[in-house]
Every structure is written in structure tokens, then in C-alpha cells.
């Protein structure tokens, strides 16, 4: 049984700001899809989703409360949209603490921070490590100093008479995240096509699903199914085909890289 194919690439991109919808218009006149089935032959695209995105994921800002003399001060942190690791976010926290002057300087001249974010793979969680902020300048190892300006500077609010947490702690403490962290926003890509008549799903237009495999950030995601999942098409003539890629929560995916190659196979129904 003979099969035909349709190829979509970046020239078919729908300009909606998401880079995850493509429309193929048939040249000349409409195509007849009566008694036709469709399957994905291959999809190639780059792993280019941001995991910090103010508009798409609403996850770019948070606050840190640090101790100052007799009270606390709140430092607001806003991350620019991008692809972040735990180490990247931790560096952003440290930069915000430096800008606010909420740190001390050890005898070696290194900045000392009393909060740290890291990955805890054992507990499948993000972990914050807290150290009690000293009530006065430490003396261990030599002379510690304050930053020139800011909260912990000589002219700032200082750290005197206050530790955080509110009760003094002599050992470091840690706090695990109470929700499962998602370093990558998408665990499964759902391919939807307005040509498809899928009677087994609520949306009715799901053509296929795939994941990013071993592709790291910036690497090529290559989906080539070992067996084709043929789906029935709506009967009738069509002037175009529209394909969109959504995530596991049925939200439109936002790709940064527009390079893509999608191959669809078409054949008469058996």
C-alpha cells in the first residue's frame, strides 16, 4: 500500500511567539483526505525550552528573608528568562546578597553566605542549606570583615542581636522542597494535528507523543518511531494542515530555536 508524505519546517512556522505551531498549505488546490490515515515518520528539533520563564511558567521571582539588627530584611530576586541549573540559581542568590550587602568576608577575602541552594538527588528534591548568621563578626582563622556597603556593613543594619531562624542554632540546618522540582518543564511532548480524528481522547486531535530522550540543552531531539501509529483523518478536502506541540499538561510549548523538521506519512485506510 503506497504512502505519501508531507514535510514541515521553519518556513511553515506560525508566528505566535511560541515557535511550536506549524501550518502547511497545499499548493494549488485542496487535497482530498477521504479514507486517509496519518502517522508521524520523524520529528527533529532542538531542546531549547527555558525552565525559567515569567510569562510561560510564572517562576522567575522569589524572596529571601535575612536577619538584620533586631528584625529581618527581605531581598527580592527576579531571574531573567533562561535555562538554569541549581548552581545558576544559587549564583543569582549570591549576587543578590552581595548587592544587598548581606554577607561577610572571611580572612582569605572570600565572601561567606549563610544560605545555599542545591540539588538533593537522594530525596528527589531541591535543598536549601541554612547556617546561623553570627551576632557579631567571627574570629575563627583571623580577621573577618564586613562589606563596604549594605545590610551587614558597618553603617548598615548589621547582624548584631539577631540570628535566623529566630532561635539560635549551633549547627547548620537544611530544608527540602515540599514539591517535586522540575528542572525541565516538559516531560512529554504531545503532537496535535487538526487533520486527525482520534476518537479515543477528549481533544480528538492527538497524533503522537514523544520525549526529548538523551538530548541535553541545545542538543537535537530526534523522534523516529520504530512502528508507525496510524490515525484516521477527517474525511473531506483540506487546504492546509496545522500541527502543534504541547506539554504533558496540555499547554503550548515555547521553543526558542525555530529549527525543525516534521515528516508526516499519509496512506489510504486499510
Q: Extract the C-alpha cell encoding 133.
A: 548568621
Residue 156: band (very low, low, confident or very high) from pLDDT cuts 50, 70, 90 = low
Dihedral sign for Cα atoms in the order 165, 167, 169, 174: negative
CA dihedral 158, 164, 170, 175 (to 10 degrees): -140
Average pLDDT of span 160-178? 60
Nearest by Cα to 115 from 157, 164, 182, 69: 164
Per-residue model confidence (pLDDT) at position 268? 93
Q: Tell me the C-alpha to C-alpha distance, in Å, between residue 25 and each of 13, 192, 238, 240, 241.
A: 11, 17, 9, 4, 7
Reported residue count of the chain is 270
Residue 167: band (very low, low, confident or very high) from pLDDT cuts 50, 70, 90 = low
Give dist(CA 240, CA 98) in Å, integer: 55
Q: Over the chain, what is the mean pLDDT?
A: 89
**CATH fold for the domain made of 4-49+185-268:** Jelly Rolls (2.60.120)
Distance from chain centroid for Cα 250: 15
Residue 1: band (very low, low, confident or very high) from pLDDT cuts 50, 70, 90 = low
Give dist(CA 48, CA 56) in Å, integer: 14
Q: Is the pLDDT of residue 162 over 50?
A: no
Average pLDDT of span 50-72? 88
Q: Is the pLDDT of residue 94 over 50?
A: yes
Give the lowest-confidence range in 160-164, 181-185, 242-246, 264-268: 160-164
Domain(s) of CATH 2.60.120.1100: residues in the chain:
4-49+185-268
Residue 26 half-sphere exposure, CB side, CA atoms within 13 Å?
A: 13
Helix (H, G, I), strand (E, B) or coil at 100: helix
Per-residue model confidence (pLDDT) at position 199? 84
Amino acid at each position: 500500500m503506497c504512502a505519501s508524505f508531507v514535510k514541515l519546517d521553519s518556513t511553515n512556522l506560525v508566528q505566535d511567539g511560541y515557535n511550536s505551531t506549524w501550518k502547511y498549505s497545499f499548493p494549488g488546490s485542496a487535497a482530498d483526505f477521504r479514507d486517509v490515515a496519518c502517522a508521524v515518520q520523524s520529528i527533529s528539533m532542538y531542546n531549547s525550552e527555558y525552565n525559567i520563564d515569567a510569562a510561560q511558567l510564572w517562576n522567575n521571582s522569589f524572596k529571601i528573608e535575612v536577619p538584620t539588627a533586631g528584625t529581618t530584611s527581605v531581598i527580592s530576586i527576579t531571574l531573567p528568562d533562561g535555562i538554569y541549573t541549581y548552581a545558576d540559581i544559587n549564583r543569582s542568590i549570591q549576587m543578590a546578597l552581595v548587592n544587598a550587602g548581606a554577607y561577610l568576608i572571611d580572612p582569605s577575602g572570600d565572601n561567606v553566605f549563610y544560605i545555599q541552594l542545591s540539588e538533593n538527588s537522594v530525596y528527589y528534591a531541591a535543598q536549601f542549606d541554612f547556617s546561623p548568621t553570627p551576632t557579631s563578626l567571627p574570629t575563627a582563622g583571623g580577621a573577618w570583615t564586613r562589606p563596604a556597603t549594605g545590610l551587614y556593613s558597618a553603617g548598615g543594619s548589621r547582624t548584631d542581636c539577631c540570628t535566623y531562624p529566630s532561635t539560635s542554632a549551633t549547627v547548620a540546618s537544611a530544608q527540602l522542597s515540599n514539591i517535586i522540582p522540575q528542572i525541565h518543564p516538559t516531560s512529554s511532548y504531545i503532537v496535535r494535528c487538526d487533520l486527525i480524528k482520534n476518537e479515543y481522547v477528549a481533544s480528538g486531535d492527538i497524533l503522537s507523543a514523544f520525549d526529548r530522550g538523551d538530548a541535553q540543552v541545545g542538543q537535537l531531539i530526534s523522534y523516529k518511531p520504530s512502528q508507525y501509529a496510524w490515525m484516521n483523518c477527517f474525511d473531506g478536502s483540506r487546504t492546509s494542515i496545522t500541527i502543534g506541540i504541547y506539554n504533558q499538561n496540555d499547554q503550548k510549548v515555547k521553543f526558542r530555536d525555530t529549527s525543525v523538521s516534521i515528516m508526516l506519512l499519509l496512506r489510504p485506510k486499510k
